[in-house]
Amino acid sequence: MLKLGISRTFKLIPRANRFSGVLSAAGFKSNLNPDIQYPNSVLDYGGTPALKHTYTNDEEPFSGFIPLEKIAIKYERSGGPGGQHVNKVNTKAEVRFHLDSAEWIPANARNKLKLMYHTRINKNGEFIVVSDRTRTQTLNLADCLDKIRFAVREAQYVPPEPTKESKAEIRNRIQKGQRAILRQKRMRSMTKQERGSL
């Protein structure tokens, strides 16, 4: 207890006990909390969704690891956001690597990358990715690496075989569309015939 010149007394709370009420409130979960609503599910808050890919049997899926010693990183002036700051610093990131000699990418994916992203490959066979989305070098470099990961995973993706039900559904949709087109044509021709009979 501290006594001041005024007739009030103050009790000093020990440091360990100061936040005990706040911490218990932070652990509170209402009845509307997803953990309580769906107790048996695994909820992932805010992360990027896991990509579910199917791969061919003869190749191993791409792990997402990109060896930095095997790629060339260059920074230059950016045309992206940042105002006058853009004219002073090198924030635009450019990542390039020789596609044929990149052993960290599976062989089938390398061949498919050549077809899918032929506009990103120069005469020397280098795969080039550029990013100037942000105002920092590190985030632009991370964006370039993310673009490479996406391209490799997209090249490795093999669409699943359609089931009998999905094939039948697609066939029904096509037939329904064709019937609608014929119905419109018939109505249009009837309209034109009515005009001529007057």
Residue 154 CA, chain-centre distance (Å), reads: 12
Tell me what pLDDT residue 162 has. 85
pLDDT at 19 over 70: no
Cβ-based neighbour number of residue 137 at 10 Å: 16
- In angstroms, the CA 137 to CA 107 distance is 31
Per-residue pLDDT tens digits for 131-175: 988 888 899 999 999 999 999 999 988 888 889 999 999 999 999
Determine which of 23-37, 96-110, 146-160 has the lowest per-residue pLDDT on average.
23-37
> Between 173 and 91, where is the model more confident?
173
Tens of pLDDT, residues 44-87: 554 444 545 555 545 678 888 888 899 999 999 887 666 777 77
Residue 161 confidence (pLDDT): 87
Alpha helices in the chain (DSSP H): 15-18, 20-26, 34-37, 107-116, 137-156, 164-197
85-101 CB burial, b ≥16 within 10 A, e <16: ebeeeebbbbbbbebee
Of 181 and 18, more confident: 181
